[in-house]
Amino acid sequence: MKLSYQIATRFLKSALTQTLIIILGIGIGVSVQIFIGSLIQGLQKSLVNTTIGNAAHVSVTDDDDGFIKDYEAVIRSAVDADDRIVAASPVLNASVLIEKDGESQSLLIRGFDLQRAEDIYEFSEYLVEGAMPNADGKVLLGVIARDNFELSVGDTISLITPDKRTVECSVSGFFDYKVAAPNESWCITTLPTVQAIFELEDVVSAIEFQVDQDLVFEADAVAKNVAGAIASDSDTLIVGEWKEANGQLLSGLQGQSISSIMIQVFVMISVVLGIASVLAISVMQKSRQIGILKAMGIQNGSSSLIFLFQGLILGIFGAIAGVLLGLGLSFAFTTFALKPDGTPVVPLYIDPAFIALSAAIAVVACIIASLIPARKSSVLNPIDIIRNQ
Amino acid sequence: MGNILELKNINKIYGTTVKTQVLYDINLGFKEGSFNSIIGQSGSGKSTLMNIMGTLDTPTSGDVVVDGVITSGMKASQLASYRNQSIGFVFQFHYLLPEFTALENVLMPYRIGHKTVPKETTDRAKELMKLVGLEKVMNNNATQMSGGQQQRTAIARALLNQPKMILADEPTGNLDSLSTETIYELLRDINDRFGTTFIIITHDRRIAEKADRIIEITDGRINLDLLKNN
Ligand SMILES: Nc1ncnc2c1ncn2[C@@H]1O[C@H](COP(=O)(O)OP(=O)(O)O)[C@@H](O)[C@H]1O
Ligand SMILES: [Mg+2]
């Protein structure tokens, strides 16, 4: 073992330029793998985040009259049923028309328990003007609605209900979710405000839940648990989750992941082929040494270990070089390739587990690549070397 | 004393389609502690014979017997261990490992057979380097030495495991006559001191005459087997 290892290191040192070039080759392969992987993961995270970062992952609605009465009990059952749930908020949604100077547009008026809804919607984060509603009768509107109706903080707006009653509300602020739909048509207010407008008792139209952000893809399992737990509260409740409503996004993500894996696999294959061919040449270059070692009685196993060790050493140094290069590349990208607002053009996601996996795959690949030369070394017959002089 | 090595009816044929017979019915026995030389024209089959004696090559028919055991029945790993423990090779082209220093090369046969090198073994390697007159250059890389120095290093290496037998194929073939003389003195000296059996191929008759026994090979047959009684 020790002798094979030492011979391996001496062989590598004796052809230092060749060794460094292979290490660089492996390093570039691994760094491309790390960079592409981090890029795709980053893109996917940011895509998922824009889609569902400020939305319900799981929601409960009523199939009967559309209203849930004993909603606090339902929330309690659901939260107890699955500890992946990190936020829960009741909401009463309804449609109204906003009218000003003869122009009108429909709004989705959303009555929240603002404190609890903050966990999901982060209103204060997206508030660009004014303040949160601090009393019933005050609302927040999106920036598009503000511009369409030339509104400013403190203005009173007229909302018309489907049964043609007009209600006045005062605008306490404006939000900007950077997404058209809410910016244009959401009207956020307190739960009692909406209940009062529609002359309802203490009911909600939906309960919204968010699950831990690292577990968003388990929303279907969470939904199943929730459905089981709340069945006893009422049998008209139905549970939905974000994945069933976003099939296209999900298949897009999957396609992206597959192509990312394909790229990584092919990069690795070319690295393996490169190392295998260089090591195969190295067996030829060193056949004289292997021959004399065998004449002196080195076992075939030890002589193949020499090349496995070379593969291992090249793999380890190549992986280290690759990780450094990959992180450097990622760092450079996120530091220097910036949008005007200072955020990176490509949001990379540096996942230590993924990097460790890439490095480990590279080391294993290098050992696999050295199997053929190891085999050649094992079967090399010393007489062929001794006789040919 | 008994025979350390015996060859029985050795035939060697090279090639499968075009067959060339190189050795014909060779029968030879070598006494332990003897100093033997094999001479013959170039192409007469000396190297082929020596490679068969060293278990590096196999005869087409016939048996090689070492310590009473027929080598054809031994596994590759057993043969490797046997070579490592019992034979020291000195080839015409010294075959040092250029990636290692002279001293490391000398230690190589021991390291092949053992996991660690005790201090006594390193000391013996240094002693052998001194014996071959190379104590000053033992930390040089093999490539930084003259041909004669490399060949003497190869001899020290062949001696390290204190093998019972040294097989040398024209060990002075590419050396000047002065170096040749020194190396033969050295081999004789080792034979006297350690009782190591020597079988040396040479085409230098003057050198051969210094041996206890001269075997001449002509066209793959033993033409002469002369035992000197001194
Ligand atoms: N691999 C081989 N294939 C065919 N013929 C060979 C081979 N090796 C050696 N020979 C032939 O065998 C004969 C003996 O060679 P060798 O043992 O090297 O002789 P020597 O060492 O006495 O010069 C020569 O004629 C040589 O050409
Ligand atoms: Mg020869």
pLDDT tens-digit map of A334-348: 888 787 877 777 778
Choose the final residue of a domain: A210, A235, A260: A235
DSSP string, A134-146: -STTEEEEEHHHH
The per-residue pLDDT for range B125-149, each reduced to its tens digit, is 999 999 888 989 999 998 899 888 8
Note whether A299 contacts B: Cβ–Cβ < 8 A.
yes
Q: Is residue A244 part of a domain?
A: no
Residues A212 and A336 in one domain: no
The total number of structural domains that make up chain A: 2
Give chain B positions within 8 Å (CB) of A297: 80-85, 109, 112-113
The rounded Å distance from CA B40 to ligand 2 centre is 9
Name A51's bridge partners. none
3-state secondary structure of B18: coil
Side chain identity at B154, as an amino acid letter?
A: A
Domain boundary among the residues A186, A204, A235 is at A235
Structure tokens at A314: 């090249």
Task: Report the C-alpha gap between A141 and A158 in whole angstroms.
Answer: 13
- Look at A333 and A110; give whichever has higher pLDDT: A110
Question: Which residues lie closer than 8 Å to A202 by C-beta, 6 or more apart?
Answer: A69, A195
Asked whether residue A258 falls in the same domain as residue A364, the answer is yes
Query: Quick one: chain B helix, strand, coil %, rounded to 5?
Result: 35, 30, 35
Among A235, A264, A282, residue at a domain's last position? A235
> Domain range for residue A339?
2-50+249-387
User: What are the backbone dihedrals phi and psi of residue A299, each rounded to the nearest 5 degrees, phi first?
Assistant: -75, 150
Task: For ligand 1, atom 3, name the residue with the nearest CA.
Answer: B14
Q: Which residue has the higher pLDDT, B102 or B209?
A: B102
- CATH class of residue range B3-227: alpha beta
How far apart (Å, rounded) are the C-alpha atoms in residues A136 and A195?
10
Q: Which element (helix H / strand E) includes B4?
A: strand B3-14
CA distance A218 to A137: 38
Q: How confident is the model at residue B1 (pLDDT cuts 50, 70, 90)?
A: low
CA B79 – CA B165 distance, rounded (Å): 15
Question: Model ipTM?
Answer: 0.93
Please report residues of B whose CB lies closer than 8 A to that of A10. 97, 99-100
Locate tokens 């503000």: which residue? Answer: A146
With bands split at pLDDT 50, 70 and 90, how would you rate the model's confidence at A55? confident
Indicate the domain borders of chain B.
Answer: 3-227
pLDDT higher than threshold 90 for residue A109: yes
Res. A234 pLDDT band, cuts 50 70 90 = confident
pLDDT category at A276 given cuts 50, 70, 90 is confident
pLDDT > 90? residue A379:
yes
pLDDT in tens, A238-253: 899 888 888 888 888 8
Residue A254 within any structural domain of the chain: yes
- B12 contact residues in A (CB cutoff 8 A): none
Within an 8 Å CB–CB cutoff, is residue A285 touching chain B?
Answer: no
Do A273 and A345 share a domain, yes or no? yes
**Structure token digits, residue A204:** 């909600």
Confidence of residue B167 (pLDDT cuts 50, 70, 90): very high
One domain, residues A163 and A285:
no
Nearest CA in chain A to B101: A10
In order of A21, A273, A326, the CA distances from A24 in angstroms are 5, 15, 12
CB A367 within 8 A of CB A8: no
Report the alpha-carbon distance of residue A71 to residue A233 in Å, rounded.
9
B207 C-alpha to center of ligand 2: Å? 16
Q: Are residues A23 and A158 in the same domain?
A: no
**Segment (H or E) for A91:** strand A85-100
CA of B169 to the centre of ligand 2 (A): 7
Record the pTM. 0.81
What distance separates the 2 farthest-apart alpha carbons in chain B? 53
Examine residue A138 and state whether it is found in any structural domain, yes or no: yes
A224 shares a domain with A100: yes
